[in-house]
Each structure stands twice: as structure tokens, then as C-alpha cells.
Amino acid sequence: MREADYAVAVGPPPAAQSYLQTEKILEAAKRTGAEAIHPGYGFFSENAQFARAVEKAGMVFIGPPPSAIVSMGDKVAARKVMMDAGVPVVPGSPDTLETEDQVREIANKIGFPIMVKAAAGGGGKGMRLVESDKDLGAVVRTVASEAKSSFGDGRFYVEKFVRKPRHIEVQVFADKQGNTVHCFERECSIQRRHQKVVEESPSPFVTPEMRAKMGEVAVRAAKAVKYVGAGTIEFLADADHNFYFLEMNTRIQVEHPVTEMVTGLDLVRLQIEVAAGAKLPFKQSDLKQNGWAVECRIYAEDPAAGFVPAPGKIETLKFPEGPGVRNDAGVYPGAVVTMFYDPMISKLAVWGASRTQAIERMRRALAEFQISGELTTNLDFHRWIMKHPRFLAGDFDTNFIAQEWHPAPAAASKDPERLAAIVLAAHAAQNTNHSNGRQPAQATGPRVSAWKSLGRLDMLRK
């Protein structure tokens, strides 16, 4: 906002009263004479209804057509589209399910363990692992309830659980003339609560043969829904390098910098040019991977307390600099990371000629990253990852953090007021799902320092 030519207030901090109000966004665009709206990677970025509203208002939605968003937004419908296109999918239910008996029938066919997932899920919510039949009933009830409360849609489906899974995604790009390419893969297996915290490109797991095949399949998947613009095809891969379609993100991804650093592309600029009708200025054969890039998502969260949000005011801040370092951030000394939005502070990315050099540069960048104030960050957690033998060897999967991260008991547990504040922030985050346009729970209370006010124990007792 500080770099923008114009800034328009669209409402109070709670997203449900501002950034999730279609008419307020459209009115702001009209007031500034905007011809197009770029939704970023949150809020309305994967909301077909908003995309249609933008077009109806006579502006361009910088993203895929609403039909593609609809096709890929429903996970079960997306599986069907991908199967029809010949894209490999994880074995599971052919349609949505409603009862425990239906889940048990599918589980008996494909075998335990299984994943029960919300059909309209996203952001790691509405999904649970079931190891055996004895846990099935409780998990089904939990997923159905969470899906209804988080997404307004209680439908769910079942997939076979892939042991030691790697989460690999492929960046795709398409223009309005039907030209579609892939921009290679990103390794996204370092996750907590099914949400990525470290990404890199290339993947240390993917072989040249696997890379070529995944790229081919990703392009086929994008063409199946007549995709336009930037999108991501996400895959799960097993230890034998078999890979399966997981979902498609119909937007630019948080981790797009690592792709830009190894390909030399400006994906956001391409989004704007393609939305204006331009043809892709390159062919698939023109794209090459050069070097290695790693990105760490820097959050205001407390890893020692289970990665719960720990926002607050930033007092001092110094970003790392130097060769190969890129830092995408919107904070500054005096800024407040609030409880109303995702607590990400910055996307810290580095490039190196090799994976070893990229990791060394990330270590230096993390050491130089200085931030202090009322908040807690995950900087030390990232420093730990960058030195872990399994990460350095590329020997990890999506269970890495759960298996290896064993911090000392959180200091917050000895501080009742801080613990109360953390619980409230975690509750607010759990009820917020920006990426699919659902409205988060609204916060109430004093406008001045709402974080501190909500964190007071006496308020909890009322």
C-alpha cells in the first residue's frame, strides 16, 4: 500500500466487513478508474462469483475464467475432470459421501489408511487421516462438521493415504489463444498442519524423467479446463516416484518467487499481459531451469506452542540483503501484524548456482533478518530447518516437521495472559479462510489495540 499511487479504505479490519465485500472492492476500483482487478493469492482469488462480478462491472479479472475456477474449486468435480483427461489421481471415492457406512465401503476397497477430505476444502482444513476402522466414525463426524463450519459445505470424499508423500507442484501458464506451458516444479513438502512453510525449485526428489512427465500432465490438466493465466497443479508423489493429481490452485501462489528466480520469468507481469490479451512471448522449449531457489515463509507465529498465530506490533525491523536475496514483505517498523489476517510477515527467497549455495545464502539471510516487538516469529524454526541433516540431504516428506520438530515447552504456557491471547488468535485464524472467499468470524471489542484487549483474561471470564 505504501508504494501504491492510490489507496482506498474499503472498511474496518475484519475481512468480512472489508476485503470480502464485493461491492466495496468494485466501488474502490471504479473510484480510481481501474480497468482490471488483480486478486492476489488470498480473499477472492479463487472465487468464481467475484470474478463474474468484476466482468459484469466492465472490468477485467486478472485470473482464469470463472468456469475454470468452478471446475477446480470442488475437489470431487476436479478429480472427475482430471480422470476424464487421463491425469493420474489418488485412488478414492468417485463422488461425494454423506455417511460413515459409505466411507467404510470405500475404505474396504482401497484399504486403510485413508484421508477423509472436505469437498470444498483448502488451506489444510477439513482433512483427517484414518489409520483403521475403529477411528473412522469419529473422523467422519469431525470432517463433516469442520467442512460445514469452515466452508459452508458439509460434503466430503475419501482418498487413499500415500505413505511418505512428497508434495510437488507444477506451475502452469496459459494465454487466451490456447497456448499452455509449464514452468517446472516446486518442492513443497516442508509443511505444518498441511500448510507449506518452505519451498524450493527444483525439487531434490524429482528426476529429469519425472519432471518431463509431470510437466506434460500438468499442461494436459490445465487444457482440460480451458485455463488462462497463472495456475498450479499440485501432486502427491510416493517413494517410488509415482505421482497423483491432488488439486489445482487457480491463482498465483505464495511461493511463485522461487519459480521466477530459476526461470527468469515475471509471473505477475505475465498475468497482467495475458489478461490484456497478449500471447505468451515464449514456447515450452524456450524455458530452462537455472540454479536453485529456496523460499521461507516468515510468520508471526509460535512454533514452540504448536505454530499458533502470535501477532503484535513490530518495534524494530531489518531485512537481509545481498547477492541472490529477495524479500517480498509489506511490513515496517511500527506496523502491526493483526489477528484479522494471515500472520505472514514476509516471503524470504534466495537463489544460488546449486542447492548447497542456495541453502548457505538462506542461512546467511535468516541470520541477518532482525525483528523485535510484541510479536513472536518462526525465524529460529527456519534456521533449525536449514541446518537439519535430513533437509540438507533432501531426505524428507510431508511428515518431516511432525517427526523432527520437538521444541522445549512453550514459554507462553507460563504466562496466562499470553496463553489466553494465543488461544484467541488461533481461534480467529481457524475461522478464517481467505483463499476461497468464505467470510471469517468477526471480531468485536475496542478499536484501539484489539489484540491486547482480546488477550486480557478478565475479558475471557465475562
- Residues marked active site are found at 251
- Contact between 331 and 2 under an 8 Å Cβ cutoff? The reply is no
Which residue stretches of 37-191 are H helix?
A: 48-56, 66-73, 75-84, 100-110, 136-151
Measured CA to CA, the distance from residue 186 to residue 353 in angstroms comes to 16
Grid coordinates representing 149? 463450519
Question: In this structure, what C-alpha cell is assigned to residue 429?
Answer: 485464524
Longest distance between any two alpha carbons in the chain, whole Å: 65
d(CA 331, CA 284): 37
Query: Could you please report the per-residue DSSP string of 77-122?
Result: HHHHHHHHTT--B-SB-SS-B-SHHHHHHHHHHH-SSEEEEETT--
As to burial, measured by CB atoms within 10 angstroms (0-12 exposed, 13-18 middle, 19+ buried), residue 22 is: middle
Positive or negative CA dihedral for 450, 41, 54, 247? negative
Q: Where are the beta strands (DSSP E) in 215-287?
A: 229-237, 243-249
In the block, cell 516469529 appears at 377
Residue 149, Cβ density class (10 Å: 0-12 exposed, 13-18 middle, ≥19 buried): middle
Contact indicator for 186, 203 with CB cutoff of 8 Å: yes
326 neighbors 376 (Cβ within 8 angstroms): no
